[in-house]
């Protein structure tokens, strides 16, 4: 049943260091529920009943949250091989903390929490590794959310842009790269208005710090960009 997605699932951090034959057996034991969604369809709504960790096997999604003013803030953009819901999975909260929207047609496998921590009736070899991976994922996600809070605390748009572009630069290792967010998505991620973001990007381009076209960016002066932080 899950064979068609094995190549994708092997890349999911939850199944890291688990061999393909072990993974196949585990999936038959865990039996995640498959759900399909159309573009722009809501996958989860904040405060809805939590249904299990979502693993994306096809398509892209946005994880969003409304701030106190009612404006949408993008937490993350995820594609096949990523997962969502892991932060709330083992808490006392039984509602989804964020809204997840399909960016494209997508297929999600939902894995109930009890299937991860419960006793494995087939004594799967990889089940211990699965739990270890889950602990690592939750820790990493907490660090990512802490970084998101840092972005929200930054007062100037230029500081937010510079931090974001430098993060992409260090992650990719090149001064020319494609960012995963469209312009309006980037504005929501940085929690600024799109017109303000566009104006600041143009200013930074005119000052010779960066160049860009749509989602393609080039850092021309790394040191100058660092000076904005």
Helix axes 157-172, 127-153, angle to 10 degrees: 150
Residue in the structure block whose two tokens are 């999600």: 108
Residue 157, pLDDT > 80, answer yes
Task: Answer yes or no: do 30 and 133 share one domain.
Answer: yes
Range of the domain at 89: 3-152
Whether residues 34 and 129 share a domain: the answer is yes
Overall number of domains in the chain: 2
Q: What length does the chain have? A: 229
Of 122, 137, 152, the last residue of a domain is 152
Residues 120 and 178 in one domain: no
Among the candidates 97, 125, 152, a domain finishes at 152
The residue with greater pLDDT, 71 or 175, is 175
Residues 128 and 57 in one domain: yes
pLDDT of residue 94: 84
- Given this model, what pLDDT does residue 123 score? 56
User: Which CATH number belongs to the domain containing residue 212 in this structure?
Assistant: 1.10.10.10
Residues 127 and 191 in one domain: no
Mean pLDDT of 141-157: 84
Mean pLDDT of the 131-147 span: 85
- Cite the DSSP H helix spans in the chain: 6-9, 20-30, 86-89, 113-117, 127-153, 157-172, 183-190, 194-206, 222-226
Q: What CATH number is attached to the domain comprising 65?
A: 2.60.120.10
Do residues 47 and 113 share a domain? yes
Claim to verify: residue 20 and residue 9 sit in the same structural domain: yes
Same domain, 21 and 133: yes
Report the C-alpha gap between 219 and 66 in whole angstroms: 31
Considering the domain architecture, whether residues 125 and 147 belong to the same structural domain is answered as yes
Q: What does the pLDDT read at residue 203?
A: 97
11 and 103 in a common domain:
yes
Domain boundary among the residues 98, 118, 152 is at: 152
Q: Do residues 16 and 125 both lie within one domain?
A: yes
pLDDT at 119 over 70: no
More confident residue, 192 or 69: 192
Closest to 35 (Cα-Cα) out of 123, 112, 133, 116: 112
Are both 32 and 114 inside the same structural domain? yes
């Amino acid at each position: 049943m899950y064979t068609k997605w094995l190549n994708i699932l092997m890349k999911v951090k939850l199944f890291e260091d688990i061999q393909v034959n072990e993974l196949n057996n585990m999936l038959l034991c865990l039996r995640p529920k498959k759900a399909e969604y159309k573009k722009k369809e809501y996958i989860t709504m904040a405060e809805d009943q939590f249904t299990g960790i979502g693993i994306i096997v096809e398509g892209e999604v946005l994880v969003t949250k409304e701030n106190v003013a009612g404006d949408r803030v993008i937490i993350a953009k995820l594609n096949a091989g990523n997962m969502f819901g892991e932060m709330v999975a083992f808490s006392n909260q039984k509602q989804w903390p964020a809204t997840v929207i399909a960016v494209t047609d997508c297929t999600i496998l939902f894995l109930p929490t009890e299937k991860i921590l419960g006793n494995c009736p087939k004594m799967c070899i990889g089940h211990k590794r699965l739990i270890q991976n889950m602990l690592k994922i939750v820790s990493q996600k907490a660090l990512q959310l802490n970084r998101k809070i840092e972005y929200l605390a930054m007062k100037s748009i230029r500081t937010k842009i510079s931090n974001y572009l430098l993060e992409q630069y260090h992650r990719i290792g090149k001064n020319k790269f494609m960012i995963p967010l469209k312009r309006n998505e980037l504005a929501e991620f940085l929690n600024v208005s799109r017109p303000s973001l566009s104006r600041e990007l143009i200013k930074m381009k005119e000052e010779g710090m960066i160049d860009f076209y749509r989602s393609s960016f080039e850092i021309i002066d790394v040191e100058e960009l660092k000076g904005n932080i």
